[in-house]
Every structure is written in C-alpha cells, then in structure tokens.
Amino acid sequence: MKLNELTAHQAYIGLRKKEFSSTEITKACLDQIKKVDKKIGAFVTVTDDLALEQAKIADEKIAQGEELKPLEGIPCAIKDNILIEGERCTCSSKILENYRATYNAGVIKKLKEQGAVFLGKTNMDEFAMGSSTEHSAFKKTKNPHDLTRVPGGSSGGSAAAVASNMCIYALGADTGSSVRQPAAFCGVVGMKPTYGRVSRYGLVAMASSLDQIGPITKDMEDTALVLREISGPDAKDSTCVQYSVPDYTEAIPWGIENIRVGVIKEYFEEGVDKEVSDLVKKAIKELKRLGAKISEVSLPHTMYALPCYYIIMPAEVSANLARYDGIRYGYSKVKAKNLLDVYLSSRAKGLGDEVRRRIMLGTFALSTGYYEAYYDKAQRVRTKIKREYDDIFRDFDVLIGPTAPTPAFKLGERIKDPLTMYMSDVLTVSANISGMPAISLPCGFVKRENKKLPVGLQIMGDHFKEEMVIRVASSYELRERAE
C-alpha cells in the first residue's frame, strides 16, 4: 500500500513505529495531487510549503521521542470556506479570489494543536451553494470513479480528494447535504455532526442555523477519530454547546445487538433509483443479521423538508452575503460612478448565477408582505419536522435510508435545471432542518456505462448521539469488509 493510501489510524501507527516519516506521507500526497488533480480538479489552493514545514515539525517531535498525538503529522485537506490564517480562502468565488484569512477557524485551531498537516484548500460550489461542485468560479471538480460525472457538492473537492488518495482525510461543511451527498457519490464516509457539536467559528457563513463542519474520511475509524478531535466547546461560537465530547472511537467495537433501527418509508418512494434502493435494502438486511431490530417508520412531514429548506436557507444567505459589497474586502469595481454602482457592479461581477439566484429568493422571502407567508411559515414547519423526529427517537436508536436518490449524475446534466439539482438534497436536508447527526457510508456500487458508481447508506441519530450513529455504521462497515 502506498503511503497516500493509508487511513489516519494506519498512518498514526506507522509514524509511532517510525516505519516512515510525516514528510514521506506528505510528499506522497503532494505527488498524488500533482499526478491526478489536473484531471479531477479537487484543489483550489495547494499549500506545499506549509505542509512540508508542518511535516518537518512533526518529524522532529518523533525523533526527540515525544508522545505522538492521534492526528499529528498526518496530511489533510480543508474545504475552501474554512479559514486557515495567512492562506487564501476563496469560497470558490471571484469576489474572494485574493482574500487571505486573518485568523484560524475553531476547527483549524484544534487541528493545529494536534499537529495536523494542511495540504491545501479544496474546491466547492461557490459559497457552498450547489450539489455538484459545478458552481465553482474556478473549475469543475470531477468524480474519481468516472470523470464524466460530478463528485456531488458542495464539498465535492474534499470528497474527491479523499477518494483519489490525494489526502488522508478532509474537512467539509454540510448545510443541506454538502458532506454526505459528495461522500455517497465518491464512495467515502462523510458525517454531519449535531448542530452545535463542532464550532462554526471561522466557517464562512452560508446559512447560519444549518451549517455544520464535518469529516470526510476513508473509513469509520477515521471518522470517529477526526470527529473527536474537532468537536467541543468554543467560546467564540455562541451556537457551540458546552457538552463534553465522548471518545467516539470507543463506539466502534460495540456491536448492534437489539439496537432499534427505523427504516424511513418515505425514503424509498417515487424518485429514488431502484438499484440504489435495492442496495440500501440489502444493507438493512445485513444490519438485521447483525442483531438490530428493524421496523419501518413513516415520517409524513419529510415531504415538506426540502421546500422548507429552500426558503430558510436562501433567506439566511441573503442576510449573510450582504457583507460582500465591494467596500470592506474582496473584489471591488474601482471605476464606479457612485456608491450604489460599487455595490451593484462588484456583486454582479463577483458573484455567480446560483449565488445571485439564492440571494434574490431569500430577499423576496424576507420582504414586507411575504415574510409571514414564506419565512415565518417555513420556520413553523421546521419546528413540526423537528418534533416529529424527536417523537420517533423515543422508539428508535437510529433511522436509515439512502443518502441520495441516484448515483452521481453527469457533468452538465442538471446545471441548467435548478429544481432538478435541488432534488439531489431531498433525502438529506431533514437532518439539517432538525439539527440531528447523520452519516453516509458506502454500501455498494451500481453500473452505468461500464463504470462502477458508489451508493451511500445514510444513518441518522438523535441529537448529540453521534456515538450511536458511529456504532451502527461501523458495525455494518466491519461486516462488509470481513466478507
């Protein structure tokens, strides 16, 4: 196995035994980036010098016999809406093309304390608005399993980087599906933690009540490890809870005897690809063989989650992106007639079509005479959806279904049809609307045009019960590997 193909826990063991150095792993990842990223387009910025400097520091600590931290010296990639001090943070938008972060995000501070190695910033849909990573202002990321297809979005760059072994693990951010759906399309593991479990400080805001940073990894053990290290209180994020963080790695060997699993009826109805549905049902049978108690459940308000999301999210986008005005930072049209012309011209040239579309939708939903009809009503529906999940988790430990209704679709197939593109999130937005944790892990492949495309199994849990989600997901993963 090549060094860049290792998982984080394998890399940790090898570094501790001095079988190889952090510099060697880092160079292996950087070499892989040079070799394959011209075709895939996963990175917006590659931070070679920073990565090698951080790897050297880790190697010096190892040489001196200091105790190695779990993620020390291990190369990772960071979605380009998470701030690393001194490095570019573009959000894949022209308006921030030359912006350099002046401080570290909360998760970056934690990873730096761990001694992590940052390889670079990954491509995304502009300001995280999209489900295919085709809305980036700089490039279109491609799926490593089939270069004619999308990697999912908006964290498509992070998922593609992990899937093609350009990094050991990555961070993404999930507002409606943006960690889980690309993980499903690229055949890796992606987890959205409970809202408030991981600090959002230094995450460039899209929709503040929905955004959550999460890990994208090669297996469940890495997911548990990375989530443990990035979770926890942060005084600089008022939405980050003060709860202690469990050791998620301890959830992996537990088993799932008598765990109550609810199969969401609505997640297998019209619009879900039959082959996707069949693979997920096969995975559910495997969980039953492992001792889980399987029952079908109905969540009738699920059908309202997507329209609810596409009112609340654009409304928050409208407010959050008002700061990009061509005055304080970012792209600015210098030759302007007056202040209004600076605003209009800078935003028109600096922001892409999808971003402007969502700003307009959100501004309309918040406008006088429509606020009560749209935004206020959507928030009431959101409460009903959350209560429905709260009720169902009295009887079940986890809920299960497909991550996405289809495997990865073709590049360009949905780019001119926003409504069809938005339907990619139909099975994932409920977790963001309710704030609960959810994970996507591979459960097989479907064949399209002689290419094998991954399918994702989604497991959702009650608030702050990430260890239960990890327990069920890792039990399935370990059984699949054993076979």
Reported as a pLDDT band with limits 50, 70 and 90, residue 1 is: confident
* CA 283/CA 293 separation, integer angstroms: 14
- pLDDT at res. 482: 60
Read off the tokens for 477: 């993963």
Tell me the three state secondary structure of residue 190. strand
Residues 285-319: pLDDT tens digits?
999 999 999 999 999 998 899 999 999 999 999 99
Averaged pLDDT for residues 34-57: 98
**For residues 168 and 4, is the Cβ–Cβ distance under 8 A?**
yes
Ordered domains of the chain (ranges, CATH): 3-251 (3.90.1300.10), 260-300+381-482 (3.90.1300.10), 308-372 (no CATH)
pLDDT higher than threshold 80 for residue 481:
no
Long-range contacts of 99-103 (CB under 8 A, 24+ apart): 99/329, 99/330, 101/202, 103/202
To which residue do tokens 């997640």 refer? Answer: 267
Residue-wise pLDDT for 426-455, tens only, equals 999 999 999 999 999 999 999 999 999 999
Is 313 in a helix, a strand, or coil? helix
Percentage of residues in the chain with pLDDT exceeding 70? 99
Residues 6+ apart with CB under 8 A from 161: 40, 42, 43, 77, 122, 167, 170
- Which amino acid would we find at residue 20? F
| Average confidence score pLDDT of the chain | 96
Q: What is the pLDDT of residue 260?
A: 98
The torsion defined by the Cα of 465, 469, 475 and 480, in degrees rounded to 10, comes to: -170
Residue 333 has pLDDT above 80, yes or no: no
For residue 104, pLDDT over 90 is answered with: yes
Q: What is the pLDDT of residue 329?
A: 80
Tokens of 237: 């994020």
d(CA 360, CA 362): 5
CA 471 distance to own-chain centroid: 20
Q: Which of 169, 100, 184 is nearest to 439 (CA)?
A: 184
Residue 40: pLDDT above 90? yes
Average pLDDT over residues 33-56: 98
Residues classed as catalytic: 79, 154, 178
Residue 196, pLDDT above cutoff 90: yes
Residue 483 has pLDDT above 80, yes or no: no
Task: Give me the mean pLDDT over the 226-255 stretch.
Answer: 95
Query: Tens of pLDDT along 58-69?
Result: 999 999 999 999
Give the Cα separation of 472 and 224 in Å (integer): 12
First to last CA, the chain: 20
Buried b (16+ CB within 10 A) or exposed e, 240-256: bbeeebbebbebbeeeb
Higher pLDDT, 70 or 481: 70
3-state SS assignment for residue 88: strand
- Tell me the average pLDDT across 15-25: 97
In the chain, the percentage of residues whose pLDDT exceeds 90 is: 90
Residue 285 CB neighbour total at 10 angstroms? 11
Structure tokens at 34: 């040079």
Category of 271 on φ-ψ map: left (φ > 0), alpha (ψ -120 to 50) or beta: left
C-beta separation of 286 from 318 below 8 A: no
Cβ 263 vs Cβ 294: under 8 Å: yes
In sequence order, the β-bridge partners of residue 88 are: 100
Other CB atoms within a 10 A radius of the CB of residue 263 amount to 18
Q: How confident is the model at residue 57 (pLDDT cuts 50, 70, 90)?
A: very high
Q: What is the CA radius of gyration of the chain?
A: 21
Which whole number is the average pLDDT over 406-416?
A: 95
